[in-house]
């Protein structure tokens, strides 16, 4: 496990800054790019819920997959939680996606631009995707339950939701 962390740290260093009224503090992860909304919630001790991305890319056909993802995100928001979909975009581990990225991920599964990633696949997918584009389009790694739990932990997210 330590070797896994060392490989990831060598390639990924990201800091997301959260600003309050007069001070600036950092919420950072050494290898996960955290969406600012998610970073702000973590900094403010608001509830953040990690969501797997395999269901979006591979679990359902388009457009049902993006509709489900949006519905789940809205349910979480209605209950005061910030959703953080976990995925790999062009070789970068991500905690939280913008709506246009969610839409692209939903299409990527159908178009063959997304690969299913478990924990054992993370270093390989990250290293391959980092230098690969698909005709100028984004290449995605859709995380399984195991990979989502691992990357969420690295991002400092302790709560995780998955399907039945």
Quote the DSSP letter at residue 115: E
Q: Which of 149, 159, 155 is nearest to 54 (CA)?
A: 149
Strand partners, 18: 25
The yes-or-no verdict on residue 5 having pLDDT over 90 is no
CA 84 vs CA 21, 53, 58, 161: distances in Å: 25, 10, 18, 10
Average pLDDT (46-68) is 96
23 and 57 Cβ atoms separated by less than 8 Å = no
How much is the pLDDT for 137?
87
Confidence bin at 6 (pLDDT 50/70/90):
very low
Q: Residue 79: exposed, middle, or buried by beta-carbon count in 10 A (0-12, 13-18, 19+)?
A: exposed
Confidence bin at 162 (pLDDT 50/70/90):
confident
Element (H, E) at 12: none
The yes-or-no verdict on residue 111 having pLDDT over 80 is yes
How much is the pLDDT for 130?
63
How much is the pLDDT for 31?
82
How much is the pLDDT for 58?
95
The yes-or-no verdict on residue 36 having pLDDT over 90 is yes
How much is the pLDDT for 13?
36
* Assigned token pair, 20: 């309050």
Write down the residue that tokens 């809205």 correspond to: 74
106 and 56 Cβ atoms separated by less than 8 Å = yes
The yes-or-no verdict on residue 129 having pLDDT over 80 is no
């Amino acid at each position: 496990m330590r070797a896994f962390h060392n490989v990831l740290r060598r390639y990924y260093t990201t800091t997301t800054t959260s600003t309050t009224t007069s001070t600036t503090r950092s919420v950072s992860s050494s290898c996960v790019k955290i969406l600012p909304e998610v970073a702000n919630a973590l900094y403010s001790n608001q509830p953040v819920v990690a969501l797997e991305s395999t269901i979006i890319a591979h679990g359902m056909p388009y457009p049902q997959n993006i509709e489900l993802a949006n519905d789940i995100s809205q349910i979480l928001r209605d209950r005061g939680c910030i959703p953080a979909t976990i995925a790999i975009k062009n070789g970068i581990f991500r905690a939280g996606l913008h709506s246009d990225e969610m839409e692209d991920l939903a299409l990527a599964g159908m178009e063959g631009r997304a690969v299913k990633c478990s924990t054992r696949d993370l270093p390989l997918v990250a290293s391959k995707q980092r230098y690969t584009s698909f005709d100028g389009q984004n290449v995605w790694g859709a995380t399984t339950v195991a990979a989502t739990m691992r990357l969420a932990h690295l991002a400092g997210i302790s709560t995780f939701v998955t399907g039945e």
